[in-house]
Amino acid sequence: MATYESEFKQYATKWAEILDRNAERMKRGSYSLHWMNTDKASWGKRAKPSSRGLTYTDINHVPGYGLIPEKATWLNFAARGSVRDEYAAEMPIVDNYTLVNRDESWADNVVTLYEEAKARQWNATRDIPWSELERLPDDLEKATCQLCTFLTEVEFVAGDFPAKWLYRIPQDFLEVKSFLVTQLMDEARHQEVFRKRAIAGGGLLHASPGFEWALKAIIDAPTHTMGTFLLNLLGEGLVLSIFRSGEMIAKTHVDKEIFRRCLQDEARHVSYGVLELKNYLDHAPDRPAAIEEMHRFADVGEQVILTSFTEAALVEPVAILLGGGLDKIDQGMEGQGRLWKMSVEEYLQRCDRAGFSRRERCTIPLESPWGQN
């Protein structure tokens, strides 16, 4: 309690000053009405909706609202475009707003992704036909539940990472903050749907140290861009490849529906990761140095993610599902080899789109580590 009081005591003088001023005016029965003064506001320039409704893009076209600064100097809660200059001396400084440079979090597609995310939200309770879930043979059900255990384990960390950085992004970059909130909701829903699928089919199975260390590396990434690279571009990119193979992996139409819905969400997160890295590199004061720094980080990061994607608790259940049963696991491993090669190639393509070619330096082998392609 003493710590709490000492932290808040510093605000007491400012609170008292503002309270006394407001209370004194109210006692006099006086109205301020200063907020009606539009001299310094972008008043009267009304936003007009487009065919999709009134989007961030539409309101950003109104002069005074769409100018996104290269560096945020307003480290408080005042809305971008509001009248705030004359109150600067009385504004608090929010110490946690540390991502003050736009290019530490911005991506040129973030507004579009935000609108798409809102339009394509779904409900894991009612939009999945749970009552139609078919009973599978024991080996296929265990493989499905193990895969869902893996996905349950990773999806919440995919929400923890943007949450870690969300409160560090100033209000001037509201579009990024808005998109990251949708990613949090997506990941919560993914954790929910895979947990429900496992328990509806038999139960959660095994966690894995390899998964855990990869997830910790994402959370502990030293910068937002580095963590976004590990999570959105690489890690979720590999998960996206699994979802895209849902028709081959999923053994019930319920599972196919789960993969289909998660696929559309995951694709947004990956798309943000690609263009966030591209924007960061494109605007780096010393682009060659920034690229080399990211390469050094990727040299290590790829190995961390590679470790988790070679865990038996992921590779073997997917092989059983691809093969069609435990007795066909060898055929499934051949399918795994093809899936691996496709996943790595898609990762390299994403790096190319970001202007960050890893083809000559990638530490993840194009051929599967288990030697079947």
Torsion over CA: 324, 330, 331, 336 (sign): positive
State residue 370's pLDDT score.
64
State residue 3's pLDDT score.
67
State residue 1's pLDDT score.
47
Torsion over CA: 112, 114, 120, 124 (sign): positive
Domain ranges of the chain: 102-353
State residue 2's pLDDT score.
56
Q: How far is CA 34 from CA 16, 85, 280, in A?
A: 21, 14, 41
State residue 202's pLDDT score.
94
Fold classification of 102-353 (topology level) = Ribonucleotide Reductase, subunit A (1.10.620)
Residue 367 main-chain phi, psi, to 5 deg = -85, 145
The 3 state secondary structure assigned to 94-151 is CCCCCCCEHHHCCCCCHHHHHHHHHHCCCCCCCCCCHHHCCCCCHHHHHHHHHHHHHH
Each residue's pLDDT, cut to its tens digit, for the chain (373 residues) gives: 456 676 677 777 777 888 888 888 888 989 999 999 999 999 998 999 999 999 999 999 999 999 999 999 999 999 999 999 999 988 888 999 999 999 999 999 999 999 999 999 999 999 999 999 999 999 999 999 999 999 999 998 899 999 999 999 999 999 999 999 999 999 999 999 999 999 999 999 999 888 888 899 999 999 999 999 999 999 999 999 989 998 899 999 999 999 999 999 999 999 999 999 999 999 999 999 999 999 999 999 999 888 888 899 999 999 999 999 999 999 999 998 899 999 999 999 999 999 999 999 999 998 877 655 5
Q: How far is CA 354 from CA 107, 108, 134, 145, 351, in A?
A: 11, 12, 42, 35, 5
d(CA 147, CA 205): 9
d(CA 93, CA 299): 38
Closest CA to 322 of 337, 303, 341: 337
